[in-house]
Amino acid sequence: MNNLRSAPAVNPRRHLPVTTIFKVEPSRSEPRNQFELEPRLAEMKRALRDGCYKQYRTSPEVELLAECDAEQLSWPRRAARLIRRMCEAQEVVIRPEERIVFTRTVEKVPSIYSQSQQQALTAGREFHELGPISNICADWEMVLSQGLGQRRQIALATRERLKNDPQAVEFLDCAIETIDAAANLAWRYAEEAARIRRHDVAKILYRVPEQPASTFHEALQALRLCHAVLWLGGHYHCGLGRFDQYMWPYLKKDLKLGRIDLSGAEQLLAEFFLSLNKDSDLYPGIQQGDNGQSLMLGGVKRDGSSGVNELTYMTLRVARGVGMIDPKINLRVTKNTSLDLLELAAELTQIGLGFPQYSNDDVVIPGLVAHGYELEDARDYSVAACWEFIIPGGGMEVVNVGAVSMPAAVDAAIHSGLAAGDSFDDILVRVGSNLHSQVAKLAERSARLFLPPAPYYSVFMSGCLERGCDLSHGLKYNNFGIHGACSSNAADALAAVKTFVFEERSVSPQRLLDALNSNFDQDEALRRNLFDEGPKVGNDDARADAMLVRLFDLFSEACESIPANRHGGIFRPGSGSAMFYVWLAQGHEAMTEPVVGATADGRKSGGYFSSSLAPSPGVRVRGPFSVLKSYSKINYQRICNGGPLTLEVSDTVFRNPEAVHQVALLIRAFAAVGCQQLQINTLNVDSLKDAQVHPERHKNLVVRVWGWSGYFCELDEAFQNQIIGRHVYGESAKCGLP
Amino acid sequence: MAARIKIPFVLLLLPMLTGVVFDIKEFAVHDGPGLRVTVFLKGCALRCSWCHNPEGQSPEPQMLRGTAGERLAGVTFSSQALADRLNSLASLLRVGDGGVTFSGGEPLAQADFVSEVIDRLDGLHVVLDTSGYAEESSFRKVAAKSQLVYFDLKLIDAAAHLAHAGVDNQPILRNLHVLAKLGIPFVIRVPLIPGVTDTQANLSAITRTVAGLPGLQRIDLLPYNKAAGAKYAACGMVYRPTFDEGRESKVNLACFKSAGLKVRIL
């Protein structure tokens, strides 16, 4: 022993497998696989940011109502007529720099019913949000590989088979009308391209989307056109699904046959991404940028083998080079995902667009299976506009029928429970019953939900044409999702009551009630104590985390207690907040739950709540590792509607050449500890503050808002302020200068 | 009876050391490889005029008063309590190819405590981030239990070091050679203070001092951050840099390169 001590060079840990500095060399301050837009596309990007494509929006407004009324068209026929007239009204735009075409020239989507007609038709029923089918994802693999022509053949065959079923016949006629409308639009593009001697464009559009795509270029063009026509029909939050899965066969074949090289493919892909930004300001959402053009990468195939391919890598690389807010990239990972891929993703995180968003297959797939999804379908999951897990082509799910207000459920329980002299367990029972009644209310409201016919979207979903049935009548999966909003504040409030009122008995129930009722105006000392000394979620503190887990268990029990929604599906609980973190705190006309005033976690009335899964605003948090550990305790087998853990990382982190590697490791750790979904946003709080004062200097500043990214200066001030108040990790407090 | 039973417990507890920590930072990206937690130990004998962690200087706990309220910098941990806290993250740190970094202040000012914490760690990778200013025995003790050392070198000229950092640099240079003999990989870190440490003469002297030392991985140059003085008011102190903050730091890397040393600017 003495010998050992006098020979300190013998280090028992030296032989442990550790990463040495050499492993992370050479310095990676520059991305390893940089992709740059070629000059033609750099020019296109500039034109996009300057709004140059808006100049084409000169087509006269489509007037539909009169003809629909004159012909006494049914709802499905009106929906089909809308697609047809919108396609017809579209003028052909082919700019010299474009190789993938389509620019919207009709600005407004007209109504197919007058307000009074609509009221009569929907009496006693409610539309979801704006009305038209939204927030689902087409089976793009099927669309591209069959082509609209083959879809039409299937529709005709079914029509023959079901010719005695007038409803089926009408649906199929409508579907065919929309197929022909999209195909004719493509044909007009081809004719014009031929006329102006753009034979490259003409050749492709004479073929697709009518015929199966045969090349990567054709597949991208077909997707652009079919996807854009969805929006023309009033649909929104139209997902792009598992892009690297359905696109890779085309690219692979082109590469193998030498029809395209990698750099040519990258530029085409970049152009496709740019094209998704041409009309996106016309796409409806809660705010500018919330348009749901989400795209999924990675993960396993339906048979369980790895689906990661060269296009997975290329898409991340190209998205970084394009640097626009659309499409919004998602990446499926596990704890075994290669660091190479994670580093590429981290490089995309670095530029501050707020994506990729990461989903953990190890948690999501079993969670979906536990909710009745077939394993093969579960493996095929993508995300809706924000984070909700959906099955492309197979789901007519309404993933956001509403949100439970966890702060309201907890706050009411604390008020009534303390007043009644309850034990803490009794207060929890009250929380459970409050959540139950909130869920019941949402279920009751969703029973009135009316999904309007969508013949064009039905063409793209599995089985609609085959069965002669519009997707609004249901698909394989018809579940409804409910957000569990602002869970961290609610858990912190419960933990504070348990700790201070019931365990330490340092705060009397009456004192707490008085303080809450008066917004802490007379008792700032108590507020500080609750806020600074109370157990908080995000610190790996068992006291607070137990409350978080309990809240989600109670929420899932409430959802599980409702046997089925009107469409035969279940209610899926989730952990997202969407815009509710501001609405619940400050009120909004769309809210059914009351605004919550001062809360027992020491939050004053009007203060923002936590967004999705993140520590309560302003509380002291140990750091991202403890945050990951806290949220890993939720039972995600019961909570499968999605809703990301959100980490804001300071952009100063990336001054370090190893940062990309370290962020990649953080993503791996997220998967390894068993969290479900993760957003990492790169923030520079100083520049956000400056952007509030000088918006003109920060036109291109992009931030992740909730499930989507937008331009900071285009956000409502309340959301701007909430973003500035988020926890930012990795601030450079110390640069090795002791 | 009761008293007699208590005594052995007290005796058992006595050997466990306590230390004062002013921060524990997760995801410390500048403090070593992989996912790391950095423990900032309170107390440092140096008084570098550019110090940006003034709360790390005094060994006593102190209250910081900022615009967002008060915060006590300086929490006393027993070695087991600190090790428990770090060990609770062990599996995550291992997944992240990382570990724990001891920094400060000057961690070696509490060398026995740090050493005891390391002994109680669950096999985690340890980086020692030190000014090198410590008793040789303290330095040996902790460095030998570390897998990587970040060693600060500020000024080779003794008089200049005394003037700007407040102490003699002889113990530092001695410990540098101790480190080289221990055979533990290390990184030299040089804060680039305009007109003070970033001069050609000083950088050349640093090159001569470290070139050829076994275990040297690379040199990290840390540009001066104008936010260095940000925390002084909260500590009730006044920031008095001994140099011109506004001056651009101009660094010639040629001396490092010609000596074959790997260098990075962070």
pLDDT in tens, A504-539: 999 999 999 999 999 999 999 999 999 999 999 999
Taking an 8 Å cut-off on Cβ atoms, the answer to whether A21 and B185 are in contact is: yes
Query: Which positions in chain A touch B38 (Cβ < 8 Å)?
Result: 734
Q: Which of A220-224, A581-585, A595-599, B53-57 has the lowest mean pLDDT?
A: A581-585
Whether the per-residue pLDDT at B88 is higher than 90: the answer is yes
Taking an 8 Å cut-off on Cβ atoms, the answer to whether B30 and A626 are in contact is: no
Q: How much is the pLDDT for A32? A: 59
The whole-angstrom distance between A735's CA and the closest CA on chain B is 6
Q: How much is the pLDDT for A693? A: 85
Distances (CA, A) of B131 to A400, B106, B108: 55, 7, 9
Q: How much is the pLDDT for A662? A: 94
Q: How much is the pLDDT for B1? A: 42
Query: Which positions in chain B touch A664 (Cβ < 8 Å)?
Result: none
Q: How much is the pLDDT for A411? A: 97
User: How many angstroms separate the CA atoms of A611 and A626, rounded?
Assistant: 17
Model confidence band, residue A566 (pLDDT cutoffs 50, 70, 90)? confident
Taking an 8 Å cut-off on Cβ atoms, the answer to whether A734 and B37 are in contact is: no
User: Between B103, B143, B266, which is nearest A655 by CB?
Assistant: B266
Taking an 8 Å cut-off on Cβ atoms, the answer to whether B147 and A11 are in contact is: yes
Mutate to test the interface with B, among A1, A3, A14, A19 (most CBs of B within 10 A): A19
Q: How much is the pLDDT for B68? A: 65
Whether the per-residue pLDDT at B74 is higher than 90: the answer is yes
Q: Does A666 touch chain B (CB under 8 A)?
A: yes
pLDDT digit string, tens, across residues A452-485: 999 999 999 999 999 999 999 999 999 999 999 9
Q: How much is the pLDDT for A30? A: 55
> Where does chain B have alpha helices with state H?
2-13, 79-87, 90-95, 111-120, 136-143, 158-165, 170-182, 200-210, 254-258
Complex ipTM: 0.91
> Where does A561-602 have alpha helices with state H?
580-586
Whether the per-residue pLDDT at A353 is higher than 90: the answer is no
User: How many angstroms separate the CA atoms of A149 and A617, rounded?
Assistant: 53
Residue of chain B minimizing CA distance to A627: B26
pLDDT digit string, tens, across residues B110-162: 999 999 999 999 999 999 999 999 999 999 999 999 999 999 999 999 999 99
- For A:716-735, CB contacts with B below 8 A are 729-730, 732-735
pLDDT digit string, tens, across residues A593-639: 889 999 999 999 999 899 899 999 989 899 999 999 999 999 999 99
Better pLDDT: B43 or B53: B43
Q: How much is the pLDDT for B8? A: 52
Query: Is residue A701 a contact partner of residue A713, using CB atoms and an 8 Å limit?
Result: yes
Model confidence band, residue A24 (pLDDT cutoffs 50, 70, 90)? very low
Query: Which positions in chain A touch B228 (Cβ < 8 Å)?
Result: 737
Whether the per-residue pLDDT at A493 is higher than 70: the answer is yes
The whole-angstrom distance between A447's CA and the closest CA on chain B is 44
Q: Does A591 touch chain B (CB under 8 A)?
A: no
Q: How much is the pLDDT for A732? A: 44
Query: Per DSSP, which regions of A131-290 are E strands?
Result: 241-242
Q: Please, what is the average pLDDT of chain A?
A: 91
Give Rg (Cα) of chain A. Answer: 27
pLDDT digit string, tens, across residues A94-119: 999 999 999 999 999 999 999 999 88
Mutate to test the interface with A, among B22, B30, B49 (most CBs of A within 10 A): B30
pLDDT digit string, tens, across residues A418-463: 999 999 999 999 999 999 999 999 999 999 999 999 999 999 999 9
pLDDT digit string, tens, across residues A720-736: 887 887 777 776 433 22
Residue A570, number of CB atoms within 10 A of its CB:
18
Q: What is the mean pLDDT of residues A313-338?
A: 96
Query: Which positions in chain B touch A657 (Cβ < 8 Å)?
Result: 264, 266
Whether the per-residue pLDDT at A5 is higher than 70: the answer is no
The whole-angstrom distance between A671's CA and the closest CA on chain B is 10
User: Between B27, B125, B181, which is nearest A623 by CB?
Assistant: B27
pLDDT digit string, tens, across residues A121-152: 888 898 898 999 999 999 999 999 999 999 99
The structure's pTM equals 0.91
Nearest to B157 by CA among B104, B200, B215: B200
Q: How much is the pLDDT for A31? A: 57
Whether the per-residue pLDDT at A10 is higher than 50: the answer is no
CB contacts < 8 A (A, B): 171
Q: Does A13 touch chain B (CB under 8 A)?
A: yes
Q: Does A199 touch chain B (CB under 8 A)?
A: no
Q: How much is the pLDDT for B65? A: 83
Percent of residues, chain A, with pLDDT higher than 70: 94
Model confidence band, residue A25 (pLDDT cutoffs 50, 70, 90)? very low
Q: What is the mean pLDDT of residues A245-273?
A: 98
Whether the per-residue pLDDT at A702 is higher than 80: the answer is no
Taking an 8 Å cut-off on Cβ atoms, the answer to whether A18 and B145 are in contact is: no
Q: How much is the pLDDT for B13? A: 55
Q: How much is the pLDDT for A22? A: 27
Query: Is residue A355 a contact partner of residue A709, using CB atoms and an 8 Å limit?
Result: yes
The whole-angstrom distance between A321's CA and the closest CA on chain B is 24
